[in-house]
């Protein structure tokens, strides 16, 4: 049984390499295996699962729909193993030195800062320089070790490393007083007759992004009179009945539960907003930075998805 489990995990690593290398031949080169060994390993997985993971041609190996599903689950499993290893290693490393981190104002204040302060309490030799800003800063010229970002407004340069560490659920909401005064919202068409409260970031509005039944994302540009560069201020305006806002669910969790805000169009949910860790490329990544990103990913994934925090 132990041998069988070991073979399963080794097979998964071969499968992941085949996908990420772009084919069996390249995977074989990177794993120092023969091409036939890679093909046989994939074949054994397919036989065990009872599905085809790849569509094979003479030149290419493309993932099937089942292959995509299996790949996503394997990537998550690999990430969980990485985080678990980092959790254990944190106790063995002498975490020390300075870490300069810049983060979004609201997400940073309520979700990231508590985690980093806990680290500073646990590791007396860890120095933290924490900055809060919703603007996109140049990490290299401004000498930041790490940035936490709500979404990516543009493709990062080749000088930066990027890793998705969490996704926060967004909610379209309004105060009952506003809906009583301006009318209900039953469909996307109704939005055009209402006032939006818009979050403004890096000199441009953050348009509302929905996901349809098929999973396709599309943006809606509502009309607005009020715009904000701070999500707490936008939540305050929503609570005062000044319009419809798109806000992270963890931020307004208590307001929703206690009826001060009402969620809208639940049957057509907003796309979640991805949270990224971004850091300058270096030849050697420090243990304090690597482990901080790993553990923060696990912490944030639970915090922003399960309504554990509220700023109210």
The rounded distance, in Å, linking the Cα atoms of 300 and 166 is 6
Sheet holding 97-103, edge to edge: 126-132, 97-103, 146-150, 273-280, 160-168
The rounded distance, in Å, linking the Cα atoms of 186 and 264 is 8
The CATH fold assigned to 170-263 is D-Maltodextrin-Binding Protein; domain 2 (3.40.190)
Segment 55-70, tens digit of pLDDT: 877 667 788 888 888 8
Residue 307 has pLDDT above 50, yes or no: no
Q: Give the per-residue pLDDT at 2.
A: 37
CATH code 3.40.190.10 for 93-164+274-303: yes
> Of the ranges 5-14, 68-77, 236-245, which one carries the lowest mean pLDDT score?
5-14
Segment 184-193, tens digit of pLDDT: 999 888 988 8
Closest Cα partner for 9 from 53, 41, 56? 41
End-to-end CA distance of the chain: 52
* pLDDT > 90 in the chain, percent: 33
Q: What would the CATH number be for the domain defined by 2-88?
A: 1.10.10.10
With beta carbons less than 8 A apart as the criterion, state whether 90 and 291 touch.
yes
Structural domain spans, the chain = 2-88, 93-164+274-303, 170-263
Mean pLDDT of the chain: 84
Point out which residues pair with 126 in neighbouring strands.
97
Question: Looking at per-residue confidence, does 198 or 31 come out higher?
Answer: 198
What are the φ and ψ backbone dihedral angles of 9, each rounded to 5 degrees? Answer: -65, -40
Q: Which two tokens stand for residue 70?
A: 């299996």
Residue 6 confidence class, pLDDT cut points 50, 70, 90: very low
Question: Looking at per-residue confidence, does 46 or 302 come out higher?
Answer: 46
> 0.75 cut: is pTM over it?
no
The rounded distance, in Å, linking the Cα atoms of 155 and 152 is 7
Residue 291 confidence class, pLDDT cut points 50, 70, 90: confident
Segment 71-130, tens digit of pLDDT: 888 887 777 776 666 555 555 556 788 999 999 999 999 999 999 999 889 888 889 999
Q: Do domains 93-164+274-303 and 170-263 have the same CATH topology?
A: yes
The rounded distance, in Å, linking the Cα atoms of 119 and 292 is 9
Q: Which residues have a Cβ under 8 Å from the Cβ of 263 and sit 6 or more positions away?
A: 171, 172, 173, 256
Point out which residues pair with 170 in neighbouring strands.
248
Residue 309 has pLDDT above 60, yes or no: no
Segment 11-46, tens digit of pLDDT: 888 888 888 888 888 888 888 888 888 889 988 988
Residue 311 has pLDDT above 70, yes or no: no
Q: Give the per-residue pLDDT at 258.
A: 95
* pLDDT > 70 in the chain, percent: 86
Most distant CA atoms of the chain, gap in Å: 70
The rounded distance, in Å, linking the Cα atoms of 53 and 10 is 16
Mean pLDDT of 178-200: 92
Closest Cα partner for 79 from 169, 165, 14? 165
Mean pLDDT of 159-184: 92
The rounded distance, in Å, linking the Cα atoms of 80 and 165 is 12
């Amino acid at each position: 049984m132990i041998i069988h489990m070991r073979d399963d995990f080794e097979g998964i690593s071969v499968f992941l390499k085949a996908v990420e290398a772009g084919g069996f031949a390249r995977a074989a080169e990177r794993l120092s295996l023969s091409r036939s060994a890679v093909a046989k390993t994939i074949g054994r997985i397919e036989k065990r699962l009872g599905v085809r993971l790849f569509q094979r041609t003479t030149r290419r190996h493309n993932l099937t729909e089942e292959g995509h599903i299996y790949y996503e689950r394997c990537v998550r499993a690999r990430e969980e193993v990485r985080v678990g290893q980092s959790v254990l290693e944190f106790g063995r490393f002498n975490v020390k030195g300075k870490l300069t981190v810049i983060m979004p104002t609201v997400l940073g204040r309520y979700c990231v800062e508590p985690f980093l302060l806990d680290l500073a309490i646990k590791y007396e030799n860890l120095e933290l320089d924490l900055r809060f800003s919703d603007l996109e800063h140049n990490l290299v010229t401004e000498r930041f070790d790490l940035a936490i970002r709500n979404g990516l407004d543009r493709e990062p340069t080749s000088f930066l490393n990027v890793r998705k560490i969490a996704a926060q659920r967004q909610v379209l909401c309004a105060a009952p007083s506003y809906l009583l005064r301006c009318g209900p919202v039953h469909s996307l068409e109704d939005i055009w007759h209402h006032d939006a409260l818009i979050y403004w970031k890096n000199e441009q509005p953050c348009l509302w992004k929905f996901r349809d039944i098929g999973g396709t994302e599309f943006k809606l540009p509502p009309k607005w009179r009020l715009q904000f560069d701070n999500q707490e201020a936008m939540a305050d305006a929503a609570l005062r009945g000044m319009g419809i806002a798109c806000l992270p669910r963890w931020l307004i969790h208590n307001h929703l539960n206690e009826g001060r805000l009402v969620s809208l169009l639940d049957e057509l949910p907003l796309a979640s907003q991805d949270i990224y860790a971004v850091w300058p490329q270096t030849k050697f990544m420090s243990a304090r930075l690597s482990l901080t990103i790993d553990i923060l990913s696990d912490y944030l994934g639970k915090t922003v998805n399960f309504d554990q925090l509220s700023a109210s």
